[in-house]
Every structure is written in C-alpha cells, then in structure tokens.
Amino acid sequence: MAETTQFELVSPERLVLSRAVEMVVVPGTEGYFGVLPRHAPMISTLDAGIIDIYEGGSVVERIFVAGGFAEVTEERCTVLAENAVPLDEIDPAKVDKDIADTRDVLKDVSDTGERERLEARVVTLQAMARAKRAA
C-alpha cells in the first residue's frame, strides 16, 4: 500500500472522521489544495466546498464542509469544520426548500444576532446546493 497521511475531520460536536488517506483535497480560501504525505506544515482557512479523499488514485469519499480551518503537518492533516456533511447525503431539493424556509423566517426577524445567524445559514445552504450541483 502506498504511503499515507492521517486525515482528521473534526466538528465542534465530535470527531467526524479519522483515517489514513493517500491524498486529500481541501477547499482552501485561496484555492483547493491537495495534501499528500510529508506535505510542508501549513495552516489555512477554508471556504465552503468539498473535501475529496483519494485512495488508489481515485476519490473514495466526498464531504461538504461549510468553511473552517486546516492544519497540515508532515504526518497529518486536520480539518476543523463547522458543518460537515457527506455529499451523498445532500438532497438538493431539500436544501432548496431549507433556503426558502430560512428566507421566510428571515423576513420578520429583527434581532441582529438572530438575523446574522440566519443569513449565515442561507449562505451555507447555498454553497451546499452549488457544491452538489457541480458534483
């Protein structure tokens, strides 16, 4: 088996995924970047996008993240994501409905904090829908 690097995907609530991978492609703010074993140490912010896990030269797992941070060292790649959903589990129709619903709620919310939260949610959902369509 080819050389691997330890990939960890962590959400605030739990450790979502921890496995050895041959390569993982992560949606950095300045463009997607691939992490192979013995990658130079770096820290990057992430945009909403898809994490691709490669094994044997092909994608074995695709996960949508709504932004976050990645820490890469020579032997591991850690992604701190706020919201991580496997791409297979995204249902575009449901996402569209969620966007519409959230917008509906948003119409009559006046509290700043609540507004901010809902607006962020719409942006996330839109990114999710885009990612799914592009896939």
Q: Would the CA dihedral through 97, 103, 109, 111 be positive or negative?
A: positive
Rule CB under 8 A: say whether 97 interacts with other proteins.
no
SS3 of residue 2 by DSSP: coil
Distance in Å, CB of 56 to other proteins, minimum: 27
Q: Which of 28, 55, 90, 106 binds other proteins (CB under 8 A)?
A: 28
Rule CB under 8 A: say whether 45 interacts with other proteins.
yes
Q: Where are the beta strands (DSSP E) in the chain?
A: 5-10, 15-21, 23-28, 31-35, 42-55, 58-72, 76-81, 84-86
- Please report, as ranges, the residues that interact with other proteins according to CB under 8 A: 8, 10-15, 28-30, 33, 40-45, 69, 71, 78, 80, 82, 112-113, 116-117
